[in-house]
């Protein structure tokens, strides 16, 4: 990129800082790792550290000349990171959300793009004589060749797809969580979504840059477009890496995991469920008030009701038209409505009440109460008291 020397040196510093942060946090995680997800995150950050280095080697105001003069054969080696960073992010998301996550044979298909890249580099670059490689590195003809741009475009498309796979995994996780848990780690879910959306934004910026370069093979495009998109990607990566390091360090260790297989179990049960069982559930819920237990889960309630978790999940979905989260919390809201109006609870604060009935978050309680009743708990108490 042709950018002012001083300004571009500042961009180099940002790239160096990004790489250094990734390396430091990767080794810190590796040394203090407590579970499999820590290892995936460590590997992801380690690979991610090569991406700013790769950009410095190709476009940095100082780095590119040093590498071209001293290590021309290593010029494109760090490009491997683009082919596996989002794969490791995907494995990290799966291991973080699902307690039963294991690497399967089908997962090795994620490495096919890396193999294609290796074959491509061997055929189109490393098969050439050394002096020819030196020349095409110095004049940048290979980096701007149509074959390399198409290969790079393929890579960026794969990275976008991997980020989308991450979001689909989170969506699946949320569905299972709603089907098996009565309380949600909302902060953790929001944080993880924000992280993945951040990397999706980065990959989309990089994809836009490659699309622009591809169009540039056909018609002339102002070089400032390439500069803007390239630098936007640098700073977006710097921002997201800092978000990952300084926010996730206190969140991912307390993430609530579920079993991925629960989604299959919940949908596999036949529809023939005796209505007597449904009425029995209603009766037992009203009498025993299982919903008051803040730690209640689908498995624990099924055990109390002498049902299998699979059967209970099917009944909730097909006969109550609710997932487990909605089923339990609607009972809690009804209990809250009663307690908000009873004379013996008039000295109890709303916080006391929502904690007594099984909620552990004021925001979740207020949101669910207003969604169900149409009023906030405070408004309901005042309106009904008049």
Q: Residue 95's closest CA among 16, 37, 180, 46?
A: 37
In the prediction, which pLDDT does 76 show? 87
Whether residues 281 and 379 share a domain: the answer is: yes
Q: Does residue 350 lie in a domain region?
A: yes
Q: Does residue 263 lie in a domain region?
A: no
CATH number, domain with residue 138: 1.20.1070
Whether residues 346 and 381 share a domain: the answer is: yes
Whether residues 224 and 316 share a domain: the answer is: no
Whether residues 277 and 248 share a domain: the answer is: no
pTM of the model: 0.82
Mark which of 193, 223, 254 sits at the end of a domain: 254
Q: Does residue 146 lie in a domain region?
A: yes
In the prediction, which pLDDT does 262 show? 66
Q: Does residue 259 lie in a domain region?
A: no
Q: What is the C-alpha to C-alpha distance for residues 249 and 256, in angstroms, rounded to an integer?
A: 15
Q: Does residue 262 lie in a domain region?
A: no
CATH number, domain with residue 301: 1.10.10.60
**What is the residue range of 131's domain?**
5-254
Residue 258, phi then psi, degrees to nearest 5 = -130, 175
Whether residues 168 and 82 share a domain: the answer is: yes
Burial 322-343, CB ≥16 within 10 A → b, else e:
ebbbbbbbbbbbebbbebbeee
Mark which of 219, 254, 289 sits at the end of a domain: 254
In the prediction, which pLDDT does 265 show? 52
Length of the chain in terms of residues written:
386
Whether residues 140 and 234 share a domain: the answer is: yes
Whether residues 223 and 330 share a domain: the answer is: no
Whether residues 234 and 291 share a domain: the answer is: no
Q: Residue 96's closest CA among 158, 49, 42?
A: 42
Residue 354: C-alpha distances to residues 134, 238, 358, 365 (Å): 70, 41, 7, 7
* Planar angle of CA 148, 57, 22, nearest 5 degrees: 110
In the prediction, which pLDDT does 200 show? 96
Number of domains the chain is built from: 2
Whether residues 188 and 80 share a domain: the answer is: yes
Distance in angstroms between the alpha carbons of the first and the last residue of the chain: 71
Mark which of 220, 254, 288 sits at the end of a domain: 254
> 3-state secondary structure string, the chain?
CCCCHHHHHHHHHHHHHHHHHHHHHHHHHHHHCCCHHHHHHHHHHHHHCHHHHHHHHHHCCCHHHHHHHHCHHHCCHHHHHHHCHHHHHHHHHHHHHECCCCCCHHHHHHHHHHHHHHHHHHHHHHCCCHHHHHHHHHCCCCCCCHHHHHHHHHHHHHHHHHHHHHHHHHHHHHHHHHHHECCCCHHHHHHHHHHHHHHHHHHHHHHHHHHHHHHHCCCCCCHHHHHHHHHHHHHHHHHHHHHHHHHHCCCHHHCCCECCCHHHHHHCCCCCCCHHHHHHHHHHHHHHCHHHCCCCEHHHHHHHCCCCHHHHHHHHHHCCCCCHHHHHHHHHHHHHHHHHHCHHHCCCCHHHHHHHCCCCCHHHHHHHHHHHHCCCHHHHHHHHHC
330, 320 contact by CB (below 8 A): no
pLDDT in tens, the chain (386 residues): 444 443 446 888 899 999 999 999 999 889 988 888 889 999 999 999 999 999 988 887 777 888 888 888 788 889 999 999 999 999 999 998 888 888 889 999 999 999 999 999 999 999 999 888 888 888 888 888 899 999 999 999 999 999 999 999 999 988 888 888 877 666 567 888 888 999 999 999 999 998 988 888 788 787 788 888 888 999 999 999 988 877 665 555 556 777 776 664 544 444 445 565 788 888 888 889 999 998 898 989 988 888 888 888 888 888 888 899 999 999 999 999 999 988 888 888 999 999 999 998 888 899 889 999 999 999 998 887 65
In the prediction, which pLDDT does 254 show? 58
In the prediction, which pLDDT does 2 show? 42
Whether residues 274 and 134 share a domain: the answer is: no
Name the one residue in this structure whose structure tokens are 């490393």. 126
56, 68 contact by CB (below 8 A): no
| Beta carbons within 10 angstroms of residue 7's beta carbon | 11
| Beta carbons within 10 angstroms of residue 300's beta carbon | 14
Q: Does residue 261 lie in a domain region?
A: no
Q: What is the C-alpha to C-alpha distance for residues 68 and 139, in angstroms, rounded to an integer?
A: 10
Q: Does residue 304 lie in a domain region?
A: yes
Whether residues 242 and 284 share a domain: the answer is: no
Q: Does residue 206 lie in a domain region?
A: yes
Whether residues 90 and 174 share a domain: the answer is: yes
């Amino acid at each position: 990129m042709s950018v002012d020397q001083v300004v571009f040196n500042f961009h180099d510093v940002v790239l160096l800082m990004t790489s250094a942060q990734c390396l430091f946090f990767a080794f810190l995680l590796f040394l203090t790792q407590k579970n499999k997800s820590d290892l995936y995150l460590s590997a992801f950050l380690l690979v991610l550290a090569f991406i700013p280095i790769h950009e410095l080697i190709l476009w940095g105001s100082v780095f590119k000349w040093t590498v071209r003069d001293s290590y021309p054969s290593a010029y494109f080696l760090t490009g491997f990171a683009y082919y596996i960073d989002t794969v490791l992010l995907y494995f990290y998301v799966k291991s973080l959300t699902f307690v039963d996550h294991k690497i399967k044979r089908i997962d090795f298909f994620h490495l096919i793009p890396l193999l294609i890249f290796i074959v491509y580099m061997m055929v189109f670059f490393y098969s050439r004589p050394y002096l020819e490689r030196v020349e095409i590195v110095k004049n940048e003809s290979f980096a701007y060749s149509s074959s390399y741009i198409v290969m790079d475009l393929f890579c960026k498309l794969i990275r976008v797809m991997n980020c989308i796979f991450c979001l689909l995994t989170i969506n699946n996780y949320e569905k299972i969580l709603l089907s098996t848990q009565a309380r949600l780690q909302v902060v953790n879910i929001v944080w993880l979504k924000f992280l993945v959306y951040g990397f999706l934004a980065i990959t989309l910026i990089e994809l836009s840059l490659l699309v622009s370069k591809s169009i540039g093979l056909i018609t002339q495009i102002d070089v400032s477009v390439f500069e803007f998109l390239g630098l936007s990607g640098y700073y977006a990566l710097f921002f997201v890496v800092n978000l990952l390091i300084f926010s996730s360090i206190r969140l991912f260790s307390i993430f609530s995991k579920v079993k991925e297989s629960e989604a299959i179990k919940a949908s596999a049960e036949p529809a023939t469920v005796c209505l007597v069982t449904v009425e029995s559930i209603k009766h037992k819920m009203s009498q025993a008030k299982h919903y008051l237990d803040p730690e209640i889960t689908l498995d624990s309630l099924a055990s109390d009701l002498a049902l299998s978790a699979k059967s209970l999940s099917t009944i909730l979905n097909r006969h109550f038209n609710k997932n487990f989260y909605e089923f339990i919390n609607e009972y809690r809201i009804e209990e809250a409505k009663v307690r908000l109006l009873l004379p013996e609870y008039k000295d109890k604060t709303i916080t006391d009440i929502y904690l007594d009935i099984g909620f552990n978050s004021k925001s979740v309680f207020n949101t669910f109460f207003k969604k169900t009743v149409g009023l906030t708990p405070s408004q309901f108490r005042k309106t009904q008291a008049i």
